[in-house]
Structure 1
Amino acid sequence: MNEETKSGQIFDLPTLKRLYKFVKPYQKQFFLLIGVIIVSAVLSPLLPLLIKYTVDGPIAERNLGGLLTMMALMVATLVLRGIVQFSNTYLSGWLGQNVIMDVRMQVYEKIISLRLKYFDNTPVGRLVTRTISDVETLSDVFSEGMAAIVGDILQLILIIGVMFYTDWKLSLVSLSMIPLMLFSTYVFKEKIKDSFNEVRAAVANLNTFVQEHISGMNIVQIFSNEDQEYRKFVDINTKHRKAHIRSILYYSVYYPVADVISSAGIGLIVWYGANQIMDLQMSFGTVLAFVMFNNLFFMPIRQLADRFNTLQMGIVSTDRILKILDTDEITPNTGTHIPGKVEGSVAFENVWFAYNDEQYVLKNINFSARSGETVALVGATGAGKSSVINILSRFYDINKGEIRIDDLPIKTYDLDALRRSIGIVLQDVFLFSDTIENNIRMGDQSITHDQIVEAAKLVGVHDFIERLPGGYTYNVRERGSSLSVGQRQLISFVRAMVHDPKILVLDEATSSVDSETETLIQQAIEKLMKGRTALVIAHRLSTIQEADKILVFDKGEIVESGSHAELLEKGGVYAELHKMQYKEVEKVNLD
């Protein structure tokens, strides 16, 4: 069964125990809520009893003083019930909101600690649903689920007890409609559960479709596919509407049926009670009290179906949240070494790596880069170049072999310290919807504005930033959409420079820009690489001719290595790649 549509068990004790752990920091408020629920249940049958004693006592005896006393007691009861209902509503809501805030923070903290492999196999929309929608469902568990069910059941028990204490024969008459009410409630519960599952599946499909197509809107419009995609959306939205209408239909049928059953119970009470009154076997106040008892009794039964469904959905959401919290797909921080100073030498020794099982994308990789050296990685797409970045920073862990920085295995380094010592500039630069300054600082408050300006001047983008509205406070919008590819790339260089890593990785840093911007970027790269160990991945061989060493990758293996001149002299794979690119450049120039 699809994870989005499966239903949970109401009394899933292991999950409920885990859920209670989230409540533990708020035990005082939780037990206070239980106390309020108990008081509320005790007060429920009190008003009908007071009315019975008022009708049979002061009213029947024409005792004005006694009537005023009973009226005062009823007013006090109503005021107390109002206070208790307020406390119940506020405490359950307060508890729910505090718990879901804590859970949401735990889920997000877990998500940002997960290794990239997890995100490769998990849709982003699902993680968003877990963090937002599923966590929000837990609020309903506290406000309308668990606590409310306890209160309803306790209220039913107390009302039945008071009814039998008052008149056992009339109690049996009142309760004669219970089997019919329970049957209709059970049928409604099962039907509404199925419709809720359909609604949940439809919402998940809507979320996935909208998120995916908004992200890929440029592709939709490039291929003039708007009408077709709109028709798909209409189809998904129609299924969502039908699922909702189905649930509305069940509610529309159930509540009138429940009211008819409840009214039939009142009719039986009045019929039987009237006969007893005429035979002088029962007082009018008792019959009136039982009419009120009937309404108080059947109301929680009608609500229980909804309560149980809310609790079921909460159990399912909790179970899905716990699966994220329990996942071990995190990069273990196996090391404790925090170097005072990183020299920057890098060595790969017999490294084998696979994203999935034994399908190796890197096979027996051996190379080294001394501190301050520039090593270029070239080869066809899919040859394994980018995988070198992923395993150097431990975004993924290798299967066999050893990677060393300054002659120490990278697993001996503290993970944060390791990643702080490596600066990565990717081809597809990601900027958050925030200011330029915050995108450069990336949360490191020790980096001052003056340092950012100095780094921007070194890279050569200070003037461009100053021309923007607000300068360094300019909001670049989602993914930096208000900037060009080259501008985003240059800002990423400033980001790398201001964090001052000793090891620098450049992944296709100039592959998507025009010649003029490429010149600016090349100048920025030269300044950025100065005094640093650099691993440069490039398709344009003209950009890495000055590298100290060039590694040629093919199908996950290093097939050639050497300087630009040495590799050309060999006349192998690199020479062939160089020859092909030279012809392409000549062709472009001729055109």
Structure 2
Amino acid sequence: MSGPGGRMMAAGAGSPSQRSMDFKGSSKRLLRQLAREKVTLWWMVAAGVLSVAASVVGPKILGSATDLIFAGVVGRQTPGGPSKEETVSRLREEGEGGLADLLSGVDFTPGQGIDFDAVGRVLLVALAVYVAAGLLMLVSTRLSIRVINLTIYRMREDVQAKLSRLPLSYFDRQQRGEVLSRATNDVDNISQTLQQTMGQLINSLLTIVGVLGMMLWISPLLALVALVTVPVSVLVATKVGKRSQPHFVQQWKSTGTLNAHVEEMYTGHALVKVFGRQDESARAFQEQNEALYEAGFKAQFNSGVMQPLMFFISNINYVLVAVVGGLRVASGTLSIGDVQAFIQYSRQFSMPLTQVASMANLVQSGVASAERIFELLDADEQEKDAPSAARPHELRGRVALDGVAFRYEPDKPLIEDLSLSVEPGQTVAIVGPTGAGKTTLVNLLMRFYEVTAGRISLDDIDIANMSREDLRSRIGMVLQDTWLFGGTIAENIAYGAAREVTREEIEEAARAAHADRFIRTLPDGYETVIDDEGSGVSAGEKQLITIARAFLSDPVILVLDEATSSVDTRTEVLIQKAMAQLAHGRTSFVIAHRLSTIRDADVILVMENGSIVEQGTHEGLLTAQGAYARLYAAQFAQAVAEVD
């Protein structure tokens, strides 16, 4: 199933895999996409800062409640009368220095129990703070979702717009399934990555900063103890990230390759079965599926190692803080409430680090997909239309080629010094062996490709100076491979018009194409819904619908490419009548495979190796006994005998 561009496609499809992953560059570019929602981002960050600030203050407030409770317990167990200072001094005199140090850090009143009113007030403040933190986080999350969805919305628009600006040569080099995978799977993966990481990542970073500030305020010494494990965490995250990133890149490239294979096999499943290639197709699928499994397993395993390692480091940090904090409480340097708050802060500090590390696999996967999208967006586009596009003063359909040269590869000429003049209303049949350049000539006329040298003019205007939209709106095409989209038959016919058309115009085009009769026999007539495969209508009926579409576009120039090769004799007669009526009075280029079209053409062009080796009428070329006569004898003589 390798078409004319198969070799180029195979060569081009592999080229992106040779490029290494630019993690930093792609990440920055993805962030710039998000930065286009700058105002919403600032509000999101502001809500996140306030939410984190409230949640960070919470443990300190709860620590105050713990201090009140502990002070009440100590006060109740201490004889009333003496003051706190006198009680501590008496303990030192009795040789209880350790207990005296502990109680010196407790704000208790001897003989008094727990002040439940004060504890209640502190707990109410804590509750209010945590409720505010939750509400602010809800606001931040909502804004984050808005930013992400708008960014992905624009990215899909950018991809769609880019695809419309890419030249035909790009799609010749790339497998269709690979392009579809980038436009769907990779964009969806970026969306999921941002949804699962962006809000949490910002919250985690803000939490780290806020918690670190509170820890330094409570005890710089304990803060330094907690920070001992941070360099180890950073080192682990960096090493694991670098190790797993290439596997994520390969995972998404393998996904694109596998999708391309599946799409190709599904599209050509009939050919696969006809030529008995099911086993070969299954083996290719198995190989590519195995490659995807290996890349996915290695990516997930390597990145998955990060979270348990970070948990281990977090537990070491917890033990160090608990031991040093206990010693500080025993010495009376810190209150037990402060140590309780600090232990909470140490957990809050290590948890975001663990979360950031655990998100590394998602981030790496998303950035790998982002690079594939950016590769698509950075692909060379077709040349832009001239700033002041020219238009013919009068639409007649005169086409002239003057010294046209073209090559797909710089060192492989295909068409050299091709000159031709076609008068308005003439029918030009183009014949020649496969690879002679027949379809390429049509592609140049449509500006799917740009000429390497020379010029092509329409009504004395160089088509390079015309806008592509204006040029193509004057040309109607009926190809061998019909294309219909999911919708009603009326909508498919109306697709050919650049303006709003009435039902009467649609039906008139269908009658001209000899399609009206079979359409009315369908259950819902013109409102019959067909899918993109044209299910429910035959190959010939699909061809008649495309001819009706061409009628409705009312082109000046008509291009026909083997439009009756796969239909029965009766339908062929209908299609030929429809095409003859469509071609009447229009300049027509026919890539000819049928004798009736060739014999009735005003001019027959015989192409070999990209050059016109002969041109003339059917009878004149046969008399000349040249290339056309040899081609005619080889390909058409038997068919003539059958027709006659």
Alignment TM-score, normalising by the size of structure 1: 0.91
Is it true that 1:551 corresponds to 2:605 in the alignment?
A: yes
Range moving further from structure 2, 123-132 or 104-113: 123-132
Question: Could you tell me whether the CA contact under 8 Å between 1:568 and 1:574 is conserved in 2?
Answer: yes
Range moving further from structure 2, 269-278 or 212-221: 269-278
Is it true that 1:570 corresponds to 2:581 in the alignment?
A: no
Q: How does 1:508-547 map onto structure 2 within 5 Å?
A: 508-547=562-601
- The one-letter amino acid paired with 1:38 is V
Question: What is residue 92 of structure 2 aligned with on the other side?
Answer: none
CA distance in 2, matches of 1:409, 1:202: 44
Question: What is residue 119 of structure 1 aligned with on the other side?
Answer: 171
CA distance in 2, matches of 1:390, 1:5: 31
Q: How does 1:185-584 map onto structure 2 within 5 Å?
A: 185-247=237-299, 249-250=301-302, 253-334=305-386, 336-339=389-392, 341-442=394-495, 444-584=498-638
Closer/same/farther in 2, CA of residues 16 and 347 from structure 1, 3 Å limit: same
Q: How does 1:1-40 map onto structure 2 within 5 Å?
A: 3=16, 8=21, 11-12=24-25, 18-19=29-30, 21-23=32-34, 25-40=36-51
CA distance in 1, matches of 2:599, 2:504: 34
Closer/same/farther in 2, CA of residues 392 and 45 from structure 1, 3 Å limit: same
Once the two structures are TM-superposed, the CA of residue 31 in structure 1 deviates from its matched residue by 1.1
Closer/same/farther in 2, CA of residues 295 and 519 from structure 1, 3 Å limit: same
- The one-letter amino acid paired with 2:603 is K
Gaps of 5+ in 2: 1-13, 73-113
CA distance in 1, matches of 2:459, 2:565: 31
Question: What is residue 208 of structure 2 aligned with on the other side?
Answer: 156
Question: Could you tell me whether the CA contact under 8 Å between 1:508 and 1:537 is conserved in 2?
Answer: yes
Closer/same/farther in 2, CA of residues 206 and 290 from structure 1, 3 Å limit: same
Question: Could you tell me whether the CA contact under 8 Å between 2:52 and 2:203 is conserved in 1?
Answer: yes
- Secondary structure of the residue aligned to 1:356 is coil
Question: Could you tell me whether the CA contact under 8 Å between 2:248 and 2:364 is conserved in 1?
Answer: no
CA distance in 1, matches of 2:488, 2:597: 31
Once the two structures are TM-superposed, the CA of residue 460 in structure 1 deviates from its matched residue by 1.0
Range moving further from structure 2, 500-509 or 351-360: 351-360
Once the two structures are TM-superposed, the CA of residue 457 in structure 1 deviates from its matched residue by 0.8
Range moving further from structure 2, 450-459 or 564-573: 564-573
Range moving further from structure 2, 269-278 or 546-555: 269-278
- The one-letter amino acid paired with 1:566 is G
Structure 1 residue corresponding to 2:182, chosen from 130, 150, 161: 130
Once the two structures are TM-superposed, the CA of residue 529 in structure 1 deviates from its matched residue by 1.1
- Secondary structure of the residue aligned to 1:224 is coil
- Secondary structure of the residue aligned to 1:112 is helix
Q: How does 1:63-212 map onto structure 2 within 5 Å?
A: 63-140=115-192, 142-145=194-197, 148-212=200-264
CA distance in 1, matches of 2:291, 2:630: 56
Closer/same/farther in 2, CA of residues 565 and 254 from structure 1, 3 Å limit: closer
- The one-letter amino acid paired with 1:502 is V
Question: Could you tell me whether the CA contact under 8 Å between 2:303 and 2:361 is conserved in 1?
Answer: no
Once the two structures are TM-superposed, the CA of residue 308 in structure 1 deviates from its matched residue by 4.5
Question: Could you tell me whether the CA contact under 8 Å between 1:4 and 1:200 is conserved in 2?
Answer: no
Closer/same/farther in 2, CA of residues 52 and 6 from structure 1, 3 Å limit: farther
Overall identity of the aligned pairs, in %: 32
Question: Could you tell me whether the CA contact under 8 Å between 2:392 and 2:458 is conserved in 1?
Answer: no
- The one-letter amino acid paired with 2:179 is L
- The one-letter amino acid paired with 2:262 is V
Question: Could you tell me whether the CA contact under 8 Å between 1:331 and 1:394 is conserved in 2?
Answer: no
Question: Could you tell me whether the CA contact under 8 Å between 1:460 and 1:520 is conserved in 2?
Answer: yes
CA distance in 2, matches of 1:316, 1:247: 12
Question: What is residue 93 of structure 2 aligned with on the other side?
Answer: none
Once the two structures are TM-superposed, the CA of residue 303 in structure 1 deviates from its matched residue by 1.7
Once the two structures are TM-superposed, the CA of residue 447 in structure 1 deviates from its matched residue by 2.1
- The one-letter amino acid paired with 1:361 is L
Once the two structures are TM-superposed, the CA of residue 544 in structure 1 deviates from its matched residue by 2.2
Once the two structures are TM-superposed, the CA of residue 449 in structure 1 deviates from its matched residue by 1.8
Question: Could you tell me whether the CA contact under 8 Å between 2:431 and 2:606 is conserved in 1?
Answer: yes
Question: Could you tell me whether the CA contact under 8 Å between 1:503 and 1:533 is conserved in 2?
Answer: yes
CA RMSD for the aligned pairs?
2.8
Once the two structures are TM-superposed, the CA of residue 48 in structure 1 deviates from its matched residue by 1.2
Question: Could you tell me whether the CA contact under 8 Å between 1:422 and 1:501 is conserved in 2?
Answer: yes
Deviation per CA, 1:438-473, whole angstroms, max 9, x where unpaired? 222227442222111111111211111122232222
Structure 1 residue corresponding to 2:60, chosen from 23, 32, 49: 49
Question: What is residue 106 of structure 2 aligned with on the other side?
Answer: none
- Secondary structure of the residue aligned to 2:178 is helix
Closer/same/farther in 2, CA of residues 415 and 248 from structure 1, 3 Å limit: closer
